[in-house]
Every structure is written in structure tokens, then in C-alpha cells.
Structure 1
Amino acid sequence: MQSLSHVEALAGLGLEGDWRAQGRPGSARQVSLISREFIDSIATYMGVDGIDPALLRRNLLVSGINLNALRHQYFQIGGAIFQATALCHPCGRMEQALGEGAVAAMLGYGGLCARVLRSGRIAVGDTLQPLAEEALPGLLS
């Protein structure tokens, strides 16, 4: 995992440099997001003071929004537009990364998967803005 100050989101692929962007174009899991609030909840359930976001293997860290409520919605971060596709469920790797009980602690707090509809630059400090479907003419097909 790398922590970057900015990255280019590539329509139909994912994030530049991420292994998923080399895979199946059009995948519903091109980008994964997790919120600071979800990480704090996971840490509480694990009984630890904090968790390094890199251990959770999600692409983007956001805050101030309930990602579960964003499922199947559209949103913009920086110059890129995304469609939230599915909840990002924890896998068995989380038990190795965080310890016993990690999968149970992450249930409902694993984050969100999305596809990139419009390419654009994303930078640390950019806000996540929900978008109405009507505001996306030409992007939906």
C-alpha cells in the first residue's frame, strides 16, 4: 500500500497505478473507500486505540459521510465522478492484518466499492460530494 497526496482516477478502470486498473474494464469494484468513522468503530470493536488505514487495503479514506447510505448513488471527489456499487465486505486477510475478531468487527463497516464514470484528479483534502442522477447527462449508459 502507498499513501499518495494525489492520484488520477481513470474512467472504467480505477486508480492509476492500482492493480485493479490493470484488470477487467467496467468492474463494479474499481475503487474501494472506507471512512475514518468506520475505522474508529472497527478499532472500538477490536478493543484497540487505533488502526492504520493501510491495513484495511482500501483505496480512498474519507470522512463525514455514512458510506453505507451512499450505496448505488453517484458522487464526485476532486475531478472524478463515481458510482457506488456495493458494500465492501471484509475478507479473511483482515484476521491476519488486524488479529482475531477483525472480520466480525468489520461487518457493516468494510466500506464501499465504486466504479469510475469520469476520469479526474483526486487529492488529499478533496471532499466527497453526492450527486443527483439528473446531474450526470451523458455519463450514464
Structure 2
Amino acid sequence: MAFPFFGDDKSKIAQMLATLPQQGRVEWIGIRPVRREPLVSLPEVAVLTDRHLAGDHARPKPGGKRQVTLVQHEHLAAVAGYLGLTEPVAPGRLRRNLVVSGLNLLALKNRRVQLGDEVILEITGECHPCSRMEEELGPGGYNAMRGHGGLTAHIVRGGVLRVGDVVRVLAAVPAVPAGA
């Protein structure tokens, strides 16, 4: 059965999935200098190519898929709503490094984004909530975060990242055919 809007052409769906003309914005930056301690909010941070954010205790291996974590700004209010709170959840409580507004982050899986003038991240997967969300947000914190945990990323190119920097989706890199 054909969908009235899409017709039978799967290439139209692929084209729509690849179309992300809007830009986002870095709203918050946080690092964890010490394991299990609160995140420290920063106005800017050095992003180390294929490593981590400077000053963060985590030391992912080069080539790792979880070198930095991101969460969507718009989800701070959603998580709060699920918990019965009237104000959005403070970004540091979600234990993610970057908060980005204006883009549907889930649409960026397996894509590259440029943050500011220098930093390029490859979005590698979803950042599912862990049991720490119950400790941080209280009973129901884990379930409030389900579907709103954000994304993980590999740092393709480092540089200085600042709150307020623009986030741009980069053109998809075409897959190289096998044997090419």
C-alpha cells in the first residue's frame, strides 16, 4: 500500500531524513572533574581530538564512540514534567556534557555536526539512562529519562567550544562501496 504523501518512492524518505536545514545552539557545557561528583558548568572548554573534554575525569579510548555526551535542551522541561516538577531540570543533573537546543538530536544519529568554528563530532548512538538517574532525580528518574537520555559522540576534530556556539549539521559522507 502506498502512503499518500510519500508514494512508493523510498528515495523521498531518504531525502527527508538527510534534510536538516536548521541550526542549533550550545546552551550548556559541563565536565566531571571527579567520578560521581556533580558536573561543573563551564562557559567554554577545550575539546581534545579523539579523546574527551579537557578537565573531565573520563578517559575514553581513542576511537571510542562515547567520548562526549549530548542532551537536547528541549528535553529538560519534558523530564521535569514526567517527575511532576514545575521548572526544567538543571542540565548538570542529567550528567551529560553538552546541552544543545534547536535541533532534534535523535535525527543526527550517524551524522557529523560542527559546533562553533572548530569542533566536529560524529554522533554515534543513544545515551540511555542509568541507575544514577534514580539517585539524581529521585524515584521515577530512570523512567523520566527514557527516550530523553541524549546521544553519544566521537570527537572527530577538537578545538575550543563555547556556550552560544552554533551547531550545524554537516553533509552526509557517502558510503564507500565494498571493494572500491
TM-score where L is the length of structure 2: 0.71
2:43 maps to 5
Give the superposition deviation at 1:36.
1.3
Runs of 4+ residues over 6 Å off in structure 1: none
Counterpart code for 2:113: F
Q: Which has the larger radius of gyration?
A: 2
Counterpart code for 1:82: L
1:105 maps to 144
Distance 2:143 2:93 in 1: 16
Counterpart code for 2:75: F
2:55 maps to 17
1:122 maps to 161
Structure with bigger RCO (C-alpha 8 Å, 6+ apart): 1
Give the superposition deviation at 1:103.
1.1
Which structure 2 residues correspond to residues 29-108 of structure 1 after superposition, within 5 A? 29-49=66-86, 50-78=88-116, 79-108=118-147
Normalized per residue, the structure richer in helix is 1
Distance 1:134 1:101 in 2: 40
- Once the two structures are superposed, what CA deviation does each residue of 1:84-135 show, in whole Å capped at 9, x if it has no partner? 0011100000001001111111111000100100111100100111001349
Distance 2:51 2:112 in 1: 16
2:9 maps to none
Name whichever of 84-93 and 124-133 sits farther off. Answer: 124-133
Give the superposition deviation at 1:23.
3.4
Counterpart code for 1:28: K
Counterpart code for 2:111: Q
Distance 2:172 2:62 in 1: 22
Distance 1:120 1:35 in 2: 22
Q: Where does the alignment leave 5 or more consecutive residues of structure 2 unmatched?
A: 1-38, 175-180
Give the superposition deviation at 1:29.
0.3
Identity of aligned residues (%): 43
TM-score where L is the length of structure 1: 0.90
Count of residue correspondences: 134
